[in-house]
Amino acid sequence: METIAIISQKGGSGKTTIALHLAVASSNSGLNTALIDLDPQASATKWADRREKELPVVLSAHASRLHNEIRRVKETGGQRLFLDTAPHSDSAALEAAKVADLVLIPCRPAIFDMEAISNTLALVQTTGTPIFVVMNAVAPQGQEAEEAMEAIGELNVEVCPIQLVNRIAFARSLITGLTAQEFECYGKAAKETANLHTFMCAQLNKMNQ
Q: Report the distance separating Cα 4 and Cα 110, nearest Å.
A: 25
Q: What is the DSSP letter of 147?
A: H
Please give the chain's pLDDT, 209 residues, in tens. 999 999 998 888 999 999 999 999 999 999 999 999 999 999 999 999 999 999 999 999 998 999 999 999 999 999 999 999 998 778 889 999 999 999 999 999 887 888 888 889 988 999 999 999 999 999 988 788 788 888 887 888 999 999 999 999 999 999 999 999 999 999 999 999 999 999 999 999 998 87
What's the number of CA atoms in the CB half-sphere (13 Å) around residue 70?
20
- Is 23 in contact with 52 (CB distance < 8 Å)? no
- Write the CATH number of the domain with boundaries 2-208: 3.40.50.300
Beta pairing class for 33-37 and 80-84: parallel
**Cα–Cα distances in angstroms (integers) from residue 125 to residues 103, 120, 208, in the given order:** 10, 8, 20
Output the pLDDT for position 160.
95
What's the number of CA atoms in the CB half-sphere (13 Å) around residue 182?
21
- Is 111 in contact with 43 (CB distance < 8 Å)? no
Paired strand residues for 34? 57, 81
Output the pLDDT for position 159.
93
User: Per-domain residue ranges for the chain?
Assistant: 2-208
Non-local (6+) Cβ contacts of 142 within 8 A are: none
